[in-house]
A and B are shown apart, each in its own frame.
Chain A
Amino acid sequence: MKWLSIVVVLCTLMALGACKKKAAPPPPPPPPPPPAPTASIAVNPTSIQAGQSASLTWQTTNATDVSIDGIGAVQANGSQSVSPSDSTTYHLVAKGSGGTQEATARLTVAAAPPPPPPRTASVTDEDLFSQNVKDIYFDYDKSDIRGDQRASIQADMTFLGQHPNMNFTIEGHCDERGSTEYNLALGDQRASSVKNELVTAGVSASRIKTISYGKEKPFCTESNEACWQQNRRGHFVYQK
């Protein structure tokens, strides 16, 4: 009974307390006399190189309308990252019912350094190669190019014809089933099969190396047909 009454009393007090807060919000403070606004602005660092950025920070008080030239209306206090191409003076204007205050900050921008050396041509070629040349997939225990791979090999021929300076390796891969030795021979035939197709279409044989990995370097290691199909392929690798 004692506990119950304590709980009841506590609950009642809490409820009353909550009610009291809601019932009596603090009265709004009386409007103060309009004081004059203050304003300051700074930039850090004060000098940068073209392309770099600096941090612009400003504070105002008693202002209702704050703006920075070249940026426009802004919050009363704030900061912003800026990266002008030329030296710039940031001009802050803070207007309030007590008047107008101004502040400025100067950011010096040095001439841009020489641009970094362009990315080497081979990297671009390699990217291009891997984006455009499609692997050729095979049926189980087969090394002939099947019908649904014609579009891929056609696209490969077109791309390789347009880029006659690219050399590459065709890797023959097999799924995990069957003998290690037989699969290496089969992978060799798959790689040769893709190579022969390309050579017949006019791609120079001197650009093409072949290697068989058999089932030694699978792309996928699960034991199901989806995975096996991933592993039965002629895989193109750009040769630097």
Chain B
Amino acid sequence: MAKGMLQSNSYRHTILSSGVRTSLKRMGHHLRPKTPREFNKLWRLALQAVPLALIFCFLLSAAPAQDWVKTGTSLGVEKVRLAVPDFKPSTTDPQNPALLKTFNDTLWNDLDVSGVVELVSKSFYPLQVPGQPPEVNFLAWNAPPPNAAMLAFGNLGVASGRLTVQGWLYDVKNTQSPQVLGKQYADNASDAAARIMAHKFADEIIFRLGGGIAGIAESQIFFVSDRTGHKEIWAMDYDGSNQHQLTHLGTISLSPRISPDGSRIAFSSLTKTGWEIMMYSLDLNRVVSFPHMGGTNLSPAWSGDGTKLSFSSSRGGESEIYVSDASGGGLHRLTTAKGPDVSPVWNRKTNSQIAFVSGRTGLPQIYTMEADGTNQQRMTDQGYAVSPGWAPNGQFLAFAWVRKYGPGEPGSSDIYLMDIASKQWVQLTHDGGRNDFPSWSPDGRHIVFQSNRSGNLEIWSMLADGTKVQQLTFTGRNTQPNWSWK
């Protein structure tokens, strides 16, 4: 996701860049459509002509039906084939089996969803897997069937209540000096410690194999859950583990937004005097004071340097976008248009632009403006577009969009990605239901969002190309996820 270079022959509604690119390879060059309408025409043609249809079927057989446009963070780039045999016990402590399972599952999942490596299926592994460097049999790993380029292995053991993990990353094609990484972790033995060690080791691997971008395995996601009967602010690890309640206000709390340094959560809560911006300190584990503004105050957002907050307030009558400093002082208004203005989000890369939602022309649309309120630009051209999330690299907006909106066109709400410079967009979710509130991972490779596709409102994550979709919550209704900044 470093440099976004748009290619001239791009598919019209698809973002092509070195970071997020589209592949229509499966369809063959002579069938490449230029617009969705042309594609539909082609499709119909194909169905009419049986031989052609058979070719289509053959070409598409490897992919699910909806997967006719493939976007990805690294398509066309060969991913590193990484083999990760289960870590081996290094002691005979009875706690080892349970902790090994936690460690191995967590490490595998972290690497699997990272989007930067291709994990070699365990069924290709040799019977003897290494737990120590001398046990590595290079030929058993670097030749087919595993044909791995990299091997992550190690051991785990508990001794006198202390958990120790040793892990290595080996370039198995380089038998002379194979070691890329060697790490040792130690802590009091617990399930949580095993999980954290797996996250740390995964992040080390991802940092080295993923172009020097830090991994996200230790990041957190904040969200709203009603599982206590009230909507409160909750937190969890990025993979859905360790879910715990933060606020106990017993009212309705919404829109948690974690500060860039991870110390505070700004959110909106229904107080005796109305909706106000509230502040929760993760250092003090309690709500700390923040001035009441009056009117309805919603959807706070942090600037990338953590010095400013933007939010929606109706203190002046209409819902407009305001900016204050991080303590609520220096409040000033940015927008004046009729119709609700809500859900601001900063460009954290530059801190000089804000995207937001406005109903000034009817159904809500996504807009951008300078951080002083000038140069307001409409980004979406139709439908119902809400909940912008600005990618960490500053180039993309993720948002929720019901493109075809109106009577007889119920349309599902899906997550879309838009290249801000060109306004070209691509649809990321295709699985139905109402998908909303996309929020970017710190590395810009993942998006977390809420969806009712399972029948209940839950939180899901995916790679920013729409693949590796994972459900993270399973209890109660869980909404408005917000990913930590690191």
Interface string of A155-181 (1 = CB under 8 A from B): 000000000000000000000001111
Known interface pairs A178-B364, A180-B480, A216-B252; A189-B318 also in contact (CB < 8 Å): yes
Q: How far is the CA of A180 from the CA of B437 in the complex (A)?
A: 9
Most chain B CB within a 10 A radius of its CB, from A184, A192, A216: A184
Q: Chain A residues near B480 (CB, 8 Å)? A: 180
Whether the Cβ atoms of A184 and B362 lie closer than 8 Å is no
Is A212 at the interface (CB under 8 A from chain B)?
Answer: yes
Whether the Cβ atoms of A185 and B274 lie closer than 8 Å is no
Is B220 at the interface (CB under 8 A from chain A)?
Answer: no
Whether the Cβ atoms of B386 and A178 lie closer than 8 Å is yes
Q: How far is the CA of A179 from the CA of B299 in the complex (A)?
A: 11
Whether the Cβ atoms of A181 and B359 lie closer than 8 Å is no
Interface string of A212-227 (1 = CB under 8 A from B): 1000100000000000
Question: Which of A141, A181, A192, A216 is in CB contact (< 8 Å) with B342?
Answer: A181
Question: Which of B295, B298, B317, B362 is in CB contact (< 8 Å) with A181?
Answer: B298
Q: How far is the CA of A232 from the CA of B204 in the complex (A)?
A: 52
Interface of A is mostly: helix
Q: Chain B residues near A237 (CB, 8 Å)? A: none
Q: How many residues of A contact B (CB 8 A)?
A: 15
Question: Which of B252, B299, B340, B384 is in CB contact (< 8 Å) with A189?
Answer: B340
Known interface pairs A182-B342, A188-B340; A212-B400 also in contact (CB < 8 Å): no
Which residue of A is nearest B299, CB measured?
A: A181
Would you list which residues of chain B between 328 and 355 have a CB under 8 Å from chain A?
339-343
Is B363 at the interface (CB under 8 A from chain A)?
Answer: yes
Q: How far is the CA of A203 from the CA of B62 in the complex (A)?
A: 68
Q: Chain A residues near B254 (CB, 8 Å)? A: 180-181, 184
Known interface pairs A189-B318, A189-B319, A211-B274; A181-B252 also in contact (CB < 8 Å): no
> Could you say which interface size class chain B belongs to?
35 or more
Q: Chain A residues near B317 (CB, 8 Å)? A: 192
Is B275 at the interface (CB under 8 A from chain A)?
Answer: yes
Q: Chain B residues near A186 (CB, 8 Å)? A: 340, 359
Q: Chain A residues near B340 (CB, 8 Å)? A: 182, 185-186, 188-189
Whether the Cβ atoms of B312 and A185 lie closer than 8 Å is yes
Whether the Cβ atoms of B319 and A188 lie closer than 8 Å is yes
Q: Chain A residues near B400 (CB, 8 Å)? A: 179
Whether the Cβ atoms of A141 and B386 lie closer than 8 Å is no
Whether the Cβ atoms of A182 and B274 lie closer than 8 Å is no
Is B100 at the interface (CB under 8 A from chain A)?
Answer: no
Is B14 at the interface (CB under 8 A from chain A)?
Answer: no
Q: Chain A residues near B359 (CB, 8 Å)? A: 141, 182, 185-186
7 A–B contacts, CB within 8 A, in A order: A179-B387, A180-B480, A181-B255, A181-B298, A181-B312, A185-B342, A189-B319
Which A residues have a C-beta under 8 Å from some C-beta of B? Answer: 141, 178-182, 184-186, 188-189, 192, 211-212, 216
